[in-house]
Amino acid sequence: MDTTRQILRWSIPGWVFSFMLFLFWLIMARTIDAIHLNDLISAIATHDYGLQGAAVLAATGIPLGYFIYQIYFYLYAGVLPFDIVSSDRGLDVLFKLPSIVRKRIMKELNVIIPEQEMSELAQIKSINLGIYRLKKQHRNFRSRQVFKKSLREHWEIIRYCLTQISIKTKSEFVNKEVTTLTDIYHSLGASRVALFLAYFLWITFIAIRITSDANSVWAQELPNTILGAAYTTLFFVLLYIVLTTNRNNALISVQKFLEHSFYSFFRSKLSGGNK
């Protein structure tokens, strides 16, 4: 990973976190009439707060972003309470390849690609919740360990195939394209975590201020504070939906690109082997 891309990748979630905290504060402060936008703009222009804020945002972006990425990857690769997991995206790609291509991959790598996934979309009364859980028969300690191991192994198969394509075609195009798409996918995922953390911390802060200090502006303007919290929650939900939709679109793009690339590559190998 080149240095510039690495810096951008770590920075984006940190910037999202800091900027969202500021926006949440601005929404609620404006709702309780504690601040006026004209005064805020004037203060920024007069006292160089904008430059100072930009400098703080830039300086804290990388360490904050790096920390948020660790949370994101823990959630991404682990088994959470109630057996909530990520979908096995490597296996999703392998599933959609023709049977003859899967058999060729298994033969070359001496691995077994399972016929079924261990997870499924969680539902309540036929309503899709948009999250994955381990299937009922896999909700035990041994299966959880197997799932975490399989998640890594299936993506290692994807990486091996990408390496083979690069070697055989003497081109890094496919590898670079997949890297770009996965960077977008993970950046959106980490930004979604940053958004949730900012929202959770801000709402928690407001709740503590209301309950611990009756003289605080938030407690004295309680009806407007509640209204501001509702606006903030609505804003959070809308942004979360946008990030989730874009992340799913990025996932579809990378999976389709991998499927077509693998199919074309292994089909040519199979054709060559049959001549």
How do residues 142-168 score in pLDDT, each as one tens digit?
A: 988 988 888 888 888 888 888 888 888
Strands across the sheet containing 84-85: 84-85, 127-134, 119-124
What pLDDT, on a 0 to 100 scale, did the predictor assign at position 125? 63
Long-range CB pairs of 255-264 (<8 Å, 24+ gap) are 255/89, 255/92, 255/93, 255/96, 257/174, 257/177, 257/178, 257/181, 258/93, 258/158, 258/178, 259/93, 259/96, 259/97, 261/165, 261/174, 262/93, 262/97, 262/101, 262/161, 262/165, 263/97, 263/98, 263/101
- Please work out, in degrees rounded to the nearest 5, the angle formed at the alpha carbon of residue 216 by the alpha carbons of 210 and 217: 100
CA distance 187 to 229: 27
How do residues 118-136 score in pLDDT, each as one tens digit?
A: 888 777 666 665 678 888 8
Say if residue 82's pLDDT is above 90.
Answer: no
CA distance 162 to 110: 17
Say if residue 43's pLDDT is above 80.
Answer: no
Choose the most confident range, by mean pLDDT, from 132-136, 199-203, 217-221.
Answer: 199-203
Read off the DSSP letter of residue 81. G
Say if residue 65's pLDDT is above 70.
Answer: yes
What pLDDT, on a 0 to 100 scale, did the predictor assign at position 120? 82
Say if residue 208's pLDDT is above 60.
Answer: yes
Say if residue 16's pLDDT is above 70.
Answer: yes
Other CB atoms within 10 A of residue 55 CB? 11
User: By percentage, how much of the chain surpasses pLDDT 90?
Assistant: 14
CA distance 209 to 152: 44
Residue 61 — pLDDT band, cuts 50, 70, 90? confident
> Between residues 127 and 63, which one has the greater pLDDT?
63
Model confidence pTM above 0.75: yes
CB distance 118 to 138 below 8 Å: yes
Say if residue 234's pLDDT is above 70.
Answer: yes
CB distance 16 to 194 below 8 Å: yes
Residue 197 — pLDDT band, cuts 50, 70, 90? very high
Q: What number is the average pLDDT over the span 26-48?
A: 65
CB distance 196 to 190 below 8 Å: no
What pLDDT, on a 0 to 100 scale, did the predictor assign at position 79? 84
Closest C-alpha to 65, from 4, 17, 5: 17
Cβ partners under 8 Å of residue 103, min gap 6 = none
CA distances from 182 to 69, 122, 175, 243 (A): 14, 25, 11, 15
CA distances from 19 to 6, 41, 53, 238, 246 (A): 20, 16, 10, 16, 19
How do residues 102-113 score in pLDDT, each as one tens digit?
A: 888 888 888 888
What pLDDT, on a 0 to 100 scale, did the predictor assign at position 196? 94
CA distances from 275 to 98, 253, 263, 265, 271 (A): 20, 33, 18, 16, 7
Q: What number is the average pLDDT over the span 54-58?
A: 67
